[in-house]
Chains A and B, each alone.
Chain A
Amino acid sequence: MAVSSAAVQPRPSILSRSLSLLADSRNALGFGFMLPAAALLLVFLTYPLGLGVWLGFTDARIGRPGIFIGTENYQYLWDDAVFWLSVFNTLLYTISASILKFALGLWLALILNQNLPFKSFFRAIVLLPWVVPTVLSAIAFWWIYDSQFSILSWALMEMGLIDHRINFLGDPENARASVIAANVWRGIPFVAITLLAGLQTIPQSLYEAATLDGASRWQLFRYVTLPLLTPIIAITMTFSVLFTFTDFQLIYVLTRGGPVNATHLMATLSFQRGISGGQLGEGAAIAVAMIPFLLAAILFSYFGLQRRKWQQGGGD
């Protein structure tokens, strides 16, 4: 059947022959397969990024395209105390929140890695803050930090630990600590669950061998867990730092950058100047100013993530 139908087919045309030649070429085919992904990257990643960088060099406002003004926006920002405050705030926010998230997340991961009763239940619970939309949890924190109705103030007063309500979001120092605490609460699940996954790749027999070798619990952690977890820690913390550095939603809902710009991050300042204030060019310049910091974080992790010597070599 197949043989007879093949026999009556006409000779292939030149077009179909050159097409089949193309399909046989490894490079041409590879290029073809790559095109859709490249197009997606171009449209959704490169274009917005490029537009943002371009806007930073213009005096565009909302409703007015703007003209090229060179580095004027950046010169203005250089002398802008609020901008530098936001840089300081962003660094403080990122560094302290990341350190706390790492320490608490690792601690939580170590606990969850034990043989607890209802283990999977607790693991699911831990993910909750990560699952809830940020805006929702931010609103919840807004109530927790409310100057009149804060449950924290109420609880502490009922316990007799304080005698007047805490002004969580009204005082610059308190506000900074409050938004950092909210960010830590939200970020811990990511760190804990990723590190937990890393912990579970460490073979039990290594702990048994080290126990027989005479290691105490601390030494097990110091000489087995920590070195074997380092690659996972590097990647987890890189992501965590990037998320934290570019955070916007929490701050925008909780404080909008106040009081007196004490919690303004670069992302919120960029939004305020660019969208709320209408100065698109200046807002874009602030956003672009974040890039060097982000690049530094990525480079740091790139070198930190390089396969360590013990991970290299033969395999079997």
Chain B
Amino acid sequence: MASVAIGDVYKSFGTVEVLHGVSVSIDDGEFVTLVGPSGCGKSTLLRMIAGLEKISRGEIAIGERVVNNVAPKERDVAMVFQNYALYPHMTVAENMAFSLMLKGVSKAESGASVQRAAEILGLVPLLARYPRQLSGGQRQRVAMGRAIVRDPQVFLFDEPLSNLDAKLRVQMRAEIKELHQRLKTTTVYVTHDQIEAMTMADKIVVMHDGLVEQIGPPLELYDRPNNLFVASFIGSPAMNMLRGEIATDGGSPSFRGSGGISLPLAAVPSIGNGEQVVLGIRPEHLRLSEGEGIPVTVVVVEPTGSEVQLIGRTAGGDEIVANFRERHSFTPGETVRLSADPGLIHLFHGETGQRFEMRTRQ
């Protein structure tokens, strides 16, 4: 096992620069997800750690060793590919033993390693099969088995679950997490699915357009997103966003939005009267209120059993989504008022999108 240090890394393909200086430090044994929309450079970064892409500028170190000029096979990393990349002409056992065979490990020894990995992953009855004879989830497990057998310093996962159906994805997600808790091998996991990132990671790296937007533990990203991008990317359904300005008349500040919206805010230092802001509220932080709050016309009501999701529209035309644990009943077309605890409200700069820190938080 080893730590991974990514220091100010750039990557260009020809004249197109796709990574513009990325720094991430990954501790020994940590599970880190790189998450972001497609094209943000997360897979490229992973492939640079693996050595499948050259590093244009900057430095990547695995353990104490800078690996910029180290061949992929010398880096002691194992990668699980999105399409599994199983060798179709080899059985499951041969697939898993391939790297050991290349290393010249004895048949008995490699057989034992394969057996051990197969037991961990429940692959023992499938060892003699060919990849074509396996289901998607089984292939996924073989790909992981191939990585485990090598006992590498670092596991790299490149969107390993995106070819699986929704149910299997949830199951494999838990299996990978359990595997990590058991093996404690440093893991870098690329995904575009923020739920995967949230549920599995010790630490999330949110990337966008070749830059790191925020690094932190899942709940910190959820509770204190650094900017509008992270705020809208993390969380499902996404955070509600309203444009407006700050009004500080009468001492305590409040938010004024289009359509006559007015919400009281917690004390906000460093914001003046009339400052343009974006206000963010998570759907589950909205509650029904009488008299005050945001007037919202109900458009669609979606009861899921565990909660009721309300999709509505403000007078200014913004869409608002609210989740209630209580079983309220709404009629489409009626107007309700929604408000939120000032401590749970996020404020972002109207132009830069950066977060304003507020004094009181829960």
Residues of A within 8 A of B (CB): 203, 205-206, 208-215, 219, 223-224, 227-228, 308-316
Q: How far is the CB of B110 from chain A (nearest CB, A)?
A: 12
A310-B131, A314-B134 are known; give 7 further A-B pairs, CB within 8 A: A205-B81, A213-B73, A215-B102, A227-B89, A228-B88, A313-B129, A314-B132
Q: Are A212 and B88 in contact (CB under 8 A)?
A: no
Q: Are B52 and A310 in contact (CB under 8 A)?
A: no
B244 lies within 8 A of chain A by Cβ:
no
B22 lies within 8 A of chain A by Cβ:
no
Q: Which of B89, B98, B146 contacts A228 (CB 8 A)?
A: B89
Residues of B within 8 A of A (CB): 50-52, 72-73, 77-79, 81-83, 85, 87-90, 98-99, 102-103, 129-136, 146, 150
Q: Are B102 and A313 in contact (CB under 8 A)?
A: no
Q: Are A212 and B132 in contact (CB under 8 A)?
A: no
**With A205-B81, A315-B132 as given contacts, are A310 and B88 in contact (CB-CB < 8 Å)?**
yes
Q: How far is the CB of B109 from chain A (nearest CB, A)?
A: 16
Chain A hits for B72, CB < 8 A = 211-212
Q: Are B130 and A313 in contact (CB under 8 A)?
A: yes
**With A313-B133, A314-B134 as given contacts, are A213 and B98 in contact (CB-CB < 8 Å)?**
yes
Q: Are B102 and A208 in contact (CB under 8 A)?
A: no
Q: Are A316 and B136 in contact (CB under 8 A)?
A: yes
* Most chain B beta-carbon contacts within 10 A, residue among A211, A213, A214: A213
Chain A hits for B98, CB < 8 A = 210, 213, 223
State in angstroms the CA–CA spacing of A5 and B56 once bound together.
76
Q: How far is the CB of B253 from chain A (nearest CB, A)?
A: 54
Q: Name the CB-closest residue of A to B78.
A: A212
Q: Are A212 and B83 in contact (CB under 8 A)?
A: no
Q: Are A223 and B87 in contact (CB under 8 A)?
A: yes
State in angstroms the CA–CA spacing of A206 and B130 once bound together.
15
Chain B hits for A210, CB < 8 A = 87, 98
Q: Are A211 and B130 in contact (CB under 8 A)?
A: no
**With A208-B81, A208-B85 as given contacts, are A213 and B130 in contact (CB-CB < 8 Å)?**
no
State in angstroms the CA–CA spacing of A214 and B87 once bound together.
14
**With A203-B83, A205-B85, A209-B81 as given contacts, are A312 and B132 in contact (CB-CB < 8 Å)?**
yes
**With A208-B52, A208-B85, A228-B89 as given contacts, are A311 and B73 in contact (CB-CB < 8 Å)?**
no
Q: Are B88 and A213 in contact (CB under 8 A)?
A: no
State in angstroms the CA–CA spacing of A206 and B99 once bound together.
13
Chain B hits for A223, CB < 8 A = 87, 98
Q: Name the CB-closest residue of A to B130.
A: A310
**Across the A-B interface, the 9 shortest Cβ-Cβ residue pairs:** A213-B99, A313-B133, A205-B85, A209-B85, A214-B73, A310-B130, A227-B89, A310-B89, A214-B102
Q: How far is the CB of A110 from chain B (nearest CB, A)?
A: 18
Q: Name the CB-closest residue of A to B73.
A: A214
Chain A hits for B90, CB < 8 A = 310
**With A212-B72, A214-B102, A215-B73 as given contacts, are A203 and B85 in contact (CB-CB < 8 Å)?**
yes
A-B contact pairs, 6 of them (CB 8 A): A205-B85, A208-B81, A208-B85, A209-B87, A211-B72, A310-B89
**With A314-B132, A316-B136 as given contacts, are A211 and B73 in contact (CB-CB < 8 Å)?**
yes
State in angstroms the CA–CA spacing of A115 and B52 once bound together.
16
**With A310-B130, A312-B132, A315-B132 as given contacts, are A214 and B85 in contact (CB-CB < 8 Å)?**
no
Q: Name the CB-closest residue of A to B74.
A: A214
Q: Name the CB-closest residue of B to A313.
A: B133
Q: How far is the CB of B150 from chain A (nearest CB, A)?
A: 8
Q: How far is the CB of A178 from chain B (nearest CB, A)?
A: 40
Chain A hits for B131, CB < 8 A = 310
Chain A hits for B78, CB < 8 A = 212
Q: Which of A212, A308, A310 contacts B50 (CB 8 A)?
A: A212
Q: Are A311 and B52 in contact (CB under 8 A)?
A: no
Q: Which of A205, A213, A308, A316 contacts B89 (CB 8 A)?
A: A308
Q: How far is the CB of B117 from chain A (nearest CB, A)?
A: 14
State in angstroms the CA–CA spacing of A224 and B95 once bound together.
11
State in angstroms the CA–CA spacing of A311 and B88 once bound together.
8
Q: How far is the CB of B202 from chain A (nearest CB, A)?
A: 24
Q: Name the CB-closest residue of B to A312.
A: B132
State in angstroms the CA–CA spacing of A211 and B79 once bound together.
11
